[in-house]
Structure 1
Amino acid sequence: MSRRLIACGFLGMALLVAACGSEEKTSTGAASVPVTKQADLSAAPASSSAPAPPPPAASSAVEGSTASAARCTAATLSGKVDQGDAGAGNRYAKLVFTNTGNQPCTLNGYSGFQLVAGSGGEVATRTDRTTDPGPSLVTLAPGASAMANMHWSVVAQDDESVEGPCEPEAASASAIPPDETAPVQFPWTFGPVCGAGTIEMSAFYPA
C-alpha cells in the first residue's frame, strides 16, 4: 500500500514538472511572435519614406537656337566707324558691327573694306591686316557688337599732293563681314586716307 502511494506521488510530481516545462515553452514561443511582428511593422514605414528618384536632367537645348550659330551676314548687321585717338598725322578708329537679327551669329576674321565716293565710285583703298588681335571666333547675341581696330595716315606719301587732299575724300564706306560677299554700308566722315588709301585693320573681337 505504501509503495503504491509512493509511486503515485512520484507520478504526480513528474506530471507537474512536465506541465511546468510545457508552460515555459509555450510562454517563450508566444513571446517570440510579437517580436517578429514588430520587426515587420517597423520595416514598413522605412520603405515608404525612401526618397523618390531624381527627375531626369533637363535638356540644354533652347527653343529657337541651334547647336552652332550661323555666320553673321550683311542682312543681319549694322555697321559704323567710331573715331578714336588722333595725333602726329595718325588716325585711329574702330569698325563696329552690331547684330540686328533675332538669332546669335558669328564673326571670325577680318572685314573687307572699301571707301566709296559720293558719286558711288570706288575711292582707292588698301587694307593691311594686323594681328593685334588676330582671328578668333566671336559670337554675337542679338543686339551685341564686335569691333576691329583701324589705323591710317593723313600725311601725304610718295607722289601724293601736299597742297591739297592727298587722296579723294570718301562719302561712305562698305565693310564686308568675314567669309561673306555682300557689304554693310555706312557714312564715312573722317576725310581722305593718305598712302593710297592704306588702312591697317585687326580681326574682330568682342566689343
Structure 2
Amino acid sequence: MTRRLIACGLGLLVLASVTACGDRTQESGSPQTMPTASASSSTSAPSSTAPAANSGAAAPAVKRCDSTVLKGEVSPTDAGAGNRYGKFVVTNSGAVPCTLNGYSGFQLENATGAVPTKLERKADPGPAAMTLAPGGKAAANLHWGVVPAGSEPVEGPCQPEPSKAAAIPPDETAPLTVPWTLGPVCSGGRIEISAFYAA
C-alpha cells in the first residue's frame, strides 16, 4: 500500500493505480460523504442518529371534526319583525383536537321524517380553518323567517314543525342530531347559515 501511494505522488503508476488513488481520495474527503453527515446529528454514527432526526416528522396529523366527536345545539339570539336569529354551536367532546373549516349541512326533521329545508350559505363570516381542542366550541349563525310566504297557510303553522335537525360537519357525510325547539320555519324552510367560526 505504501508503494502505491508513493507511486501515485510521482505520477509513475499505471492507469489502474491512478483510479485507485482517486477512490482513496473520495473515501477520505470526497463531497459524496457529506449527505450522510448532514442527515444526522453525528458523523461518527449516522445510522444510530437517523431515527432521532426523523422523530419530529412522524407526528400524527390532526383529524377533521366529525359526528362521532361533535355535540351540537341551536340557541336563539334575537327576534323581531318576523325574523329569527340563532346560533348552531358545536363542541369537541373527544379527547384529542380536531379541525373544522367551512359550512355545516342542516336538514330539519320531525318524528315522521324530513321537513322542508332550503339552506342558503352566507359569506359573512366565511370559511376559516380552526382547530378545536377537547371541549372547544365553534358556532355558525342562523337566520330564518316566521311569516308565511307564497302559498303557505296564513292560519296555523306555515310549515310542519321540526323537532330536530340533522347537521353534517364540513367535508363529512354522517350527521349529528341537534334538537330544534324554535318552531316552524317559513318560506319553504329557508335558513341562512354562515360558516363556522371560533366561539
SS of corresponding position for 1:85: strand
SS of corresponding position for 1:94: strand
Q: 2:93 aligns with which of 94, 100, 107?
A: 100
Q: Specify the code of the residue in structure 2 equivalent to 1:116.
A: E
SS of corresponding position for 2:172: coil
Task: Give the corresponding residue for 1:185.
Answer: 177
**Within the alignment, does 1:123 sit opposite 2:152 as a pair?**
no
Q: Specify the code of the residue in structure 2 equivalent to 1:164.
A: G
CA apart distance, 1:67: 5.4
**Within the alignment, does 1:158 sit opposite 2:143 as a pair?**
no
Deviations 1:60-116 (A, max 9, x none): x99xx9454110010011011011100000000000110000110011100000011
When residues 204 and 66 of structure 1 are mapped into structure 2, their CA distance, relative to the original with a 3 A threshold, is farther
Give matches, 1:47-126, under 5 Å. Answer: 66=59, 68-119=61-112, 121-126=113-118
Distance in 2 between residues matched to 1:176 and 1:157, nearest whole Å: 28
Task: Give the corresponding residue for 1:145.
Answer: 137
Distance in 2 between residues matched to 1:156 and 1:82, nearest whole Å: 22
Distance in 1 between residues matched to 2:160 and 2:153, nearest whole Å: 11
Distance in 1 between residues matched to 2:70 and 2:81, nearest whole Å: 33
Distance in 2 between residues matched to 1:188 and 1:126, nearest whole Å: 16
Task: Give the corresponding residue for 1:197.
Answer: 189
Distance in 2 between residues matched to 1:138 and 1:148, nearest whole Å: 13
Q: Which runs of 4+ in 1 moved over 3 A?
A: 65-68
Question: In terms of Rg, which structure is larger?
Answer: 1
List runs of 5+ in structure 2 lacking aligned partners: 1-52
Task: Give the corresponding residue for 2:125.
Answer: 133
CA apart distance, 1:185: 0.3
> Between Structure 1 and Structure 2, how many residues are aligned?
145
- Tell me how large the CA RMSD over aligned residues is: 1.8
When residues 80 and 66 of structure 1 are mapped into structure 2, their CA distance, relative to the original with a 3 A threshold, is farther
Give matches, 1:160-179, under 5 Å. Answer: 160-179=152-171
List runs of 5+ in structure 1 lacking aligned partners: 1-58
Q: Specify the code of the residue in structure 1 equivalent to 2:167.
A: A
Distance in 2 between residues matched to 1:128 and 1:95, nearest whole Å: 14
Identical-residue share of aligned pairs (%): 57
